[in-house]
Each structure stands twice: as structure tokens, then as C-alpha cells.
Amino acid sequence: MSTVRIPKILIPNKKVDMQKWSTIACDQFCARPKYWEELESFVGDAPSTLRLTCPEVYLPKGDLETRINDVQNEMKKYLAEGLFDEYENFVLVEREVENGKKRVGVMIAIDLDKYNWERVRVPIRATEGTLVERLPVRIKIRKGAPIELPHAIILIDNPERDIIEPIYAKKDTLQKLYDFELNMGGGRVSGYKIEDSKFVLDKLAALLDADVQIKKYGVDAGIQFAVGDGNHSIATAKVMWEELKSTLSEVERENHPSRYMLVEMVNLYGEGMDFKPIHRLIYNPTPDFIVGLKAALSGEGKLKVVSKDRVEYIDCPIKASLTISGVQGYIESYLKQHPEVEVEYVHNESHLMEALMECGGLGIVLPDFPNNELVNFVVNVGNLPKKAFSIGEPEHKRYYLECKSIINN
């Protein structure tokens, strides 16, 4: 069976204010609560994906069960009120990102039976280490939810640019489903209904050709997609599907909506696919933190470490993947010895400095990870540590917009 399905996509109808509907991924701006305060004020009481998700900035506040119930009730309310139109199509998505670039993707549904976050031969691979202890909150949100909202992006290794790009070249011939300015400086987003699904399916199937795989990776790795964003969201959907699958017959499993997750597929070599580092902010580190970090790293590179009143450069590997792995490995080992210390993951160096000035702590400025090394690294080395890279700056992360049912109606 194919890894990909044509999804039944739910998009708000014309009565919904799309600027208030579409909001940024829930794991963004955790070190900048003012962002979420401004967004709350802007959205007000309007229908919004802000009400269908649980921004992680609120997780420490202790009212998680209430928030989860509110999210699930709001989903049911929006469905009952007939807020959505349904399209059984692939959808082309054009997103304005920084410097006028356009990031172009296609909304598809992936088969969770073909995904695994462990390093095994499956068509859909994780790219970062998946921490099972981070999943329970996401599982609670998804359990009992009638719909899913993706911020997950999966990547195709397509330097020939012959899958998404030919469709994009003909976008003016496609039916436009939405076109609006995103809130909070997110740029513009447009969506178009794709009629020729066979072209997409055939091209994606060809990525698994053994000769193509050997030419790219030196081995027939059997990889079709690499997760670019939303590793833990896809892992959550996988856990929930495995739990549900055990209660279903073979026939019921075949087409159950929970088996297929809605994601945006983007070409690793497409315009607007700039990989950005995700920096570390350490709250209340002990005086020996930097001493231990220096001992954990070595090499000809230089790693920038900053605080309110100091900038220091320490030796690190030249290769970004080794530096990122070394830093994260040290942090996780350090946290086990110092459970009172907290770490936050911050996109953009200027945001890191703002958080340092506001809250104090120690910032570690991580290097860029080259996007053209990603799939080869996953195939031949393994997963990167969590939060190894970001697709674009935080304002240009994927916004929630489209939905899909995950229950049988």
C-alpha cells in the first residue's frame, strides 16, 4: 500500500475570519509570553486554531486538564456549527517567508504504519531524537479529539525539483481555496486545490526506486520522507494509532482516519527552505556549567556562549552536527545531576538576547545545520538530537490552518 493518501481536508468556510483563525505552532515563543498575550488579544472570541491547541508557554501553569477539555469541546463545537468545507484533494500551499522568498508545499496524508521514530527501515523517518517523556501531554490532547491540525512538515529529497515545482508553476490554473495575511507578522499564505493527484502519487513512488536511493545515499535505504518539523506531533499520532489499531479488525484498520496524518510536504531544496539553529537558554546554571561544557567539546570551531554581561567563545567541532549533538548531550546529562536547572529552546539569536536580558541565565548560540546534509545524515549516521534545527525563523514557522477528521463519522 502507498505511503501517501489523498486527504479529506477541512478548511474554514467564508464566514470565518482567516486572520484570526490561523495561528502559529504551539511550541513557538515559549520564552516570550508577550507574543501569546498579544495573539490572545487579537483573536478575542473569534473562531481560531488558538482554541484548538495548547500553547506550550501555558503548560507550567497547572490548569492543563481544563485546557485540554476546552480544546476538545471547542473542536466539537466548530464541527457542530458547520464551520468547515471539505475537500478531498492534495492542496498546494504557498507561504511568504523572510526576504520575499516563498516556501511551497503540498498537503498530503501519510500512513502512520510506514513511520517510525527509531532507526529502522521505513519510508518515513524521524530526523531528531524523540523523547517519549514529552508525548503524554500531546497524547492527552489528541485522545478524544475529533480532528487534527498539523504543524508537521515532512521533506522530500528532490534536488531535481520535479514534483512540487511543476504544480506550483501552474498555480494560476488551480482553484484558490484561501489567500490572506497571517497574524503577528507571519507573512502571506495561499492554498490551491490540486486536481492531478496521479502525478503527485507517481512521482513520490519513484523516490523509492532502488537505483535512485543508491545514487543519493550509497545504499537502498528505503526512505521516502524525512520529518522536517513536528517530530513529536507525528510520534504522538503514531502512539495513538498503535493503541487504537489493537482494537480494530484488519478491515477496519485499512481506512481508519487515524491511520493517516495530515502533513505539509516540502522539497528540501525548495526556495525558502533555510535551516535555522535553535539556541539553548539555561536558567540558573551552577558556576561549573561552562567548565563542564568546555570539557565535553573540542575542535577547531568556536561556540558562542552569552549572558547579560559576558560573551565567551569555547572550542567545538567544525561540523555543526557534532557540535549540536555534543551540546545537547552535555545539557541532558547536566540536567540529570541538577534537576533544579531548566532549559528553554529559543529560535533567533536576537530573541535569545531578549530573553536573557529579561530573565537572566546563560545562552548557547548553536551553529547552522546545512539542509543538504540532512537525509544523508539520517540514513548513514542516525537521528540528530531534539531541536537541532528550525525551518526558517520563528515568525515563519508553520501556522495551523487546515484540519482533518481522525474519527469515523
Cα–Cα dist 204/318, whole Å: 35
Instruction: Find, among 220, 31, 26, the residue nearest to 134 by Cα.
Output: 26
Query: How would you classify the pairing of strands 260-267 and 153-156?
Result: parallel
Cα–Cα dist 127/278, whole Å: 15
- Do residues 149 and 403 lie in contact, with contact meaning Cβ atoms separated by under 8 Å? yes
Q: Which residues pair with 281 in a beta bridge?
A: 344, 363
Q: How many CA atoms lie within 13 A of 236 on its CB side?
A: 21
- Do residues 347 and 393 lie in contact, with contact meaning Cβ atoms separated by under 8 Å? yes
The runs of H, that is alpha helices, within 349-400 are 349-359, 374-380
This model's pTM is above 0.85? yes
Listed by start position, the domains of the chain span 4-274+393-405, 278-367
pLDDT in tens, the chain (409 residues): 689 999 999 999 999 999 999 999 998 888 888 999 999 999 999 999 999 999 988 877 777 889 899 999 999 999 999 999 999 999 999 999 988 899 999 999 999 999 998 878 999 999 887 666 667 778 888 998 999 998 999 999 999 999 999 999 999 999 999 999 999 999 999 999 999 999 999 999 999 999 999 999 999 999 999 999 888 899 999 999 999 999 999 999 999 999 999 999 999 999 988 888 999 999 999 999 999 999 999 999 999 999 999 999 999 999 999 999 999 999 999 999 999 999 999 988 998 999 999 889 999 999 998 888 889 889 988 888 888 888 888 888 999 999 999 998 7
Cα–Cα dist 116/126, whole Å: 7
